[in-house]
Amino acid sequence: VSGVPGLVVAVLGTGRMGSAIARRLARLGYVLVLWNRTREKAEELASEVGARAVDRPFDAVQEAQAVVLALADDDALYSVLSGFHRLDGALVVNTGTITPQTARRAASFVEGLGGCYVESPIVGGPRAVEAGEATGIVAGRRVCLAQARSLLSDLFKRVVHVGEDPGAAAALKLSFNSLLISTVEALAEALALAEAYGVEKGLLGEVLEGTVFREVANKYLDRVTGPVGGGASFTLDLALKDLEYAARAAYHAGVPVPGVRGSEEAYAFAVREGLGKEDYTRVYRALKPRRA
């Protein structure tokens, strides 16, 4: 345990990832102040981890030396940051998956208030975060990275340093997620196609076993066909958001991404089918042929 016992950390956003971050930091001896838009969630988590929940983001920020943001998307980040009035040297670490453009704007906003900004999107779900097994993709000014070093090494098993541009860390996370989410969607499509001709899942698995797709099949083939309503570790609506952000980031950079666009279409359809709060792998449900 290399935690900095007694360091006060504000965790803003206590959804799946924010809760996992708070549980990990609490276990390492950090003192936590929690805020969430839906206050009850922060209160429940606060009593679980021995922390305190507050009414407004800035209430938490005023008490903390470091602020960890674990929010859904660009809009959530703007809405929370706009409540900050001054930062007095505090460290702000954003862990959510956002666009590169927003990451850069957030960094200059935080620095304008006298804070230090580190972009640190996460590879790995809530369970990996809680167990300290996740990877952080990190970028920020050198002085800010130095300030963040022990917090980041307590939070992550691996830290991938991308340099000083927070936009590059956000872009690398979108690059990884577009690959992962499109792959899961492609697997779901392949299964739906096979099944439409009476071929069972096990046979697709048998074919994939002898190929480079073996690990993907082992991890995702059963998961894509799993039940709905069973709880999600990463929701389908956030997967759609990531594909939209990847496509937007690519557009800004002049990179054509027709594959990402195709997957985005499938996820958008799944959300319209009411699957937005399901696990993102359940996109398969929206691709399955409907028999008359």
Ligand X SMILES: NC(=O)c1ccc[n+]([C@@H]2O[C@H](COP(=O)([O-])OP(=O)(O)OC[C@H]3O[C@@H](n4cnc5c(N)ncnc54)[C@H](OP(=O)(O)O)[C@@H]3O)[C@@H](O)[C@H]2O)c1
Residues that bind ligand X (CB under 6 A): 13-18, 36-38, 41, 70-73, 75-76, 79-80, 96-97, 122, 125-126, 233-235, 238, 242
**Cβ distance to ligand X smaller for residue 17 or 87:** 17
8 A C-beta contact, residue 46 and residue 153 = no
Look-up of token digits 């167990």? 131
Nearest to 12 by CA among 94, 53, 81, 69: 69
Cα distances from 175 to residues 5, 39, 168, in angstroms, run 35, 33, 10
What is the distance between the alpha carbons of residues 28 and 232, in angstroms, rounded to a whole number?
26
State the nearest-atom distance from the C-beta of 252 to ligand X, in Å.
19
CB of 128 to ligand X, least distance (A): 8
Nearer to ligand X, 67 or 208 (CB): 67
Q: Using CA atoms of 280, 266, 175, 111 in order, give the dihedral in degrees to the nearest 10.
A: -70
CA separation, residue 19 to residues 4, 32, 69, 125, 249 (Å)? 19, 11, 11, 11, 28
The answer to whether residues 83 and 76 touch, using CB atoms and an 8 Å cutoff, is no
Say if residues 91 and 65 touch (Cβ distance below 8 Å). yes
Token pair for residue 90?
A: 């505090």
| Residue 165: CB minimum distance to ligand X, A | 19
- If phi > 0 it is left, if psi is from -120 to 50 it is alpha, else beta; for residue 105 that is alpha
Q: Of 9 and 208, which has the nearer Cβ to ligand X?
A: 9
Specify the residue, 122 or 190, whose C-beta has the smaller distance to ligand X. Answer: 122
Residue closer to ligand X, measured from CB, 166 or 208: 166
Residue with the shortest CB distance to ligand X: 15
Smallest separation (angstroms) from ligand X to the CB of 198: 34
CB 10, min distance to ligand X, A:
13
Q: Rounded to the nearest whole angstrom, what is the least distance from the CB of residue 268 to ligand X in the complex?
A: 16
Pick 2 or 38: Cβ nearer ligand X: 38
Q: How far is CA 217 from the centre of its chain?
A: 23
- Measured between alpha carbons, how far is 235 from 229 in angstroms, rounded to an integer? 11
Question: What's the closest the beta carbon of residue 248 comes to ligand X, in angstroms?
Answer: 14
Indicate the residue among 130 and 195 with the shorter CB distance to ligand X: 130
